[in-house]
Amino acid sequence: MKKFLKYFLLIALVLFVLLMVIGAISSSNNAEQAEIGGFESVSEYKLAKKENIKTKVEYDEFIKRQIEADKKAAKTGGFVNIDEYKKAKSLSISTKALYDKYIVQQEEKRKAEELRVAEEKRKAEEKRIAEEKRKAEEKRIAEEKRKAEEFMKPEYVKQLIKKYLGPCSGSGCKINIALLDEYLKKHEDYSKGKISALISGPSGSKYIEAYLRNGKQIEVYYYDGKLKKQRDTVKIDTSKIIEIYSTSLRNYGAEVFENWYRAPKQGIKNLKSKITSFVRSKAREHMIKINSSAENEWNSK
């Protein structure tokens, strides 16, 4: 294997040297022929050689004839000058009219390309802005979630309650301790969505009342076609109840733990109002389903 590699390298070296020698001879020969032919440079000689011309005089005559031929062709084709004709000739275009049409087409393509690039740039910028907004929104939601989770921690809520109840002395402290325990128990339940409430149907509604049971389901009471009282159970997403409670807690603090039915403070009023609206909307949706089903049954008979 080593012997073969040695021979291979030797052959490659010989070929390289041979090529260099041939190149040098060729260059020397070109320079000699250029001088003999009276050419001003080797490059001019090479151009003449391509046309099978050996002398400078013949080459100058060839160039002169070529210029005259170009002038004639340019005039025939209606071109403004030879340069314009040569440009058209390089594109295999023979007349001024066709060349002008080509120029117009190229300009239209250029403008179309500019528009395409501008549109791509605009879309890319819109995408970048949308991505920035998405990330900012994700960051905002994550921060709100973090704050909400922090706000819902029992220790934090405990401090809210103590601040709400205020300082105490003597037997008043026993009342505060009892209220603190009561409110913390409410928070433990509310933070899991365990809120129960009886909501009466508003005037003109199709249901009598709706009972929210432990934030898991709503029991809807209504009269059927025979005026017989019925009760349907509607399952709900407990997270909605937790969200309502969490928002009220953040906005109003320990006021949300006041008596649900007396509701003297704005916090419990807000919580009650939000829960009532949610329950009524679900009860209303359920009654629409029932009535729609009854109408379909009637129409099918």
User: What is the distance between the alpha carbons of residues 299 and 301, in angstroms, rounded to a whole number?
Assistant: 6
Q: Is the pLDDT of residue 23 over 60?
A: no
- Give the model's pLDDT for residue 161: 94
258-269 tens-digit pLDDT: 998 876 899 999
90 pLDDT more than 60: yes
User: Does 22 score more than 70 pLDDT?
Assistant: no
DSSP assignment of the chain equals -HHHHHHHHHHHHHHHHHHHHHHHHHHHHHHHHHHHHT-SSHHHHHHHHHTT--SHHHHHHHHHHHHHHHHHHHHHHT-SSHHHHHHHHHTT--SHHHHHHHHHHHHHHHHHHHHHHHHHHHHHHHHHHHHHHHHHHHHHHHHHHHHHHHHHSHHHHHHHHHHHH----THHHHHHHHHHHHHHHHHHHHTTT---EEEEPPTT-S-SEEEEETTTEEEEEEE-TTS-EEEEEEE--HHHHHHHHHHHHHHHGGGGGS-TTT--SHHHHHHHHHHHHHHHHHHHHHHHHHHHHHHHHHHH-
Average pLDDT, the chain: 86
Is 209:221 a contact under the CB 8 Å cutoff?
A: yes
- Nearest-angstrom CA–CA distance, 277 and 143: 27
What's the pTM value of the predicted model, to 2 decimals?
0.54
* Rounded Cα–Cα distance for residues 298 and 292 (Å): 10
Asked whether residue 128 carries a pLDDT value surpassing 80, the answer given is yes
Query: pLDDT-derived band of residue 80, with 50, 70 and 90 as boundaries?
Result: confident
pLDDT of residue 19: 60
Domain boundaries along the sequence of the chain:
55-116, 192-300
113 or 80: which leads in pLDDT: 113
- Which has the minimum average pLDDT: 3-7, 133-137, 150-154? 3-7
pLDDT-derived band at 132 (thresholds 50, 70, 90) equals very high
Specify the range with the lowest mean pLDDT, choosing from 99-113, 137-151, 211-225: 137-151
pLDDT recorded at residue 10: 60
Cα(188)–Cα(205) distance, integer angstroms: 34
